[in-house]
Structure 1
Amino acid sequence: MTCLERIEQYLKQQGVRYEVIHHARAYTAQRIAQAEHIPGKMQVKVVMLRSDDEFYMAVLPAVTHVDVEAFNRVTGKECHLASESEFKDLFPDCETGAMPPLGSFYMLPIYADDMLEEDDEIVFQAGTHTESVKIAWDDYLRLERPFLAQISHRAYA
């Protein structure tokens, strides 16, 4: 089963309305937002951090960068950005760097940037660099229960 198929099955089981968006191949969240013609702060990206042998998902708007110091304060851990080679095996159903912000799929804790609360919907990659899923922010909160905090550097005022 592909990552997108798993996501669709999960969302249907939970009674969540969603939209699958097919777009030109894109490797960054900002490029995906451009391809989908949506605001960059609505497009979500996943940044993986690591502390010793533990991995964490940081879920951020495309227009921001993770603030590792803020993340460390929030988690109480000494984390660093994980390289793709460190985390790619955690996501066997995803193209490298195209993992969805669904920690429940991969038994990973999720820390979401509080800027995401500014929009009613989020869009995230669905395991490939050509497919994304749009869902309501409230549904994402209900399903994934991320820890919310300011964990990014804002790229705009």
Structure 2
Amino acid sequence: MTIASTVSQYLTDHSIQYRVIPHEHSATNRESAHKANVREDRVAKAIMLKDERGTVMTIIPASSSLDMRAVHEETGRNHLEMMDESEFQQHFSDCEVGALPPLGPAYGITTLVDSGLDDRDTLYLESGDHESLIAMDGRDFDQLMSGSRHCNLTRDWI
């Protein structure tokens, strides 16, 4: 599989310049970063959450962990929980299971973006498969996420 058709169309529709970085098969965003030889904190990772009101995508650096308390505070939705991978296909039918592109708006999903991803020179995104990343200018990513809420979704656990 290559870049997901929804992702490709979304980037084209928004006139976003990008390049595809192929890498060996990987199972996680962190592994993708290592195999593509890019920094983990430059890879945007999507985490899908759900509750009785629907789904929410959170996007954080692959080097970080999601703080559910911060998500609950930000959304006022105290029953959000992580979706099981088996549920992804209903939202991401053009993607391999587990290879979630961090582009919630492209899929019509409410999206929260960790402010730690703001103002990056270059960001890397899963493309919808387990063997390539998309590299784009951070300002272009900011443009794509302009309608999403930007907030602190990760915490230092010191």
TM-score when normalising by structure 2: 0.89
Pairs aligned (count): 156
Partner of 1:32: 32
Matches within 5 A, 1:5-154: 5-78=5-78, 79-117=80-118, 119-145=120-146, 146-154=148-156
- Read off the aligned partner of 2:12 and give its amino acid letter: K
The alpha-carbon deviation at position 14 of structure 1 amounts to 2.2
Higher alpha-carbon deviation: 2-11 or 94-103: 2-11
The alpha-carbon deviation at position 3 of structure 1 amounts to 4.5
Deviations 1:134-154 (A, max 9, x none): 111211121232211111134
Distance 1:58 1:36 in 2: 23
Identity of aligned residues (%): 27
- Read off the aligned partner of 2:133 and give its amino acid letter: S
Distance change >3 Å, CA 12–CA 85, structure 1 → 2: closer
Corresponding residue SS for 1:64: coil
- Read off the aligned partner of 1:59 and give its amino acid letter: I
The alpha-carbon deviation at position 7 of structure 1 amounts to 2.6
The alpha-carbon deviation at position 105 of structure 1 amounts to 2.2
Contact 2:119 2:138 in 1 (8 A): no
Distance 1:143 1:107 in 2: 13
Distance change >3 Å, CA 91–CA 6, structure 1 → 2: closer
Higher alpha-carbon deviation: 95-104 or 4-13: 4-13
Corresponding residue SS for 2:71: helix
Contact 2:6 2:107 in 1 (8 A): no
Distance 2:56 2:63 in 1: 20
**5+ residue gaps, structure 2:** none
Distance 2:81 2:4 in 1: 29
Distance 1:42 1:106 in 2: 22
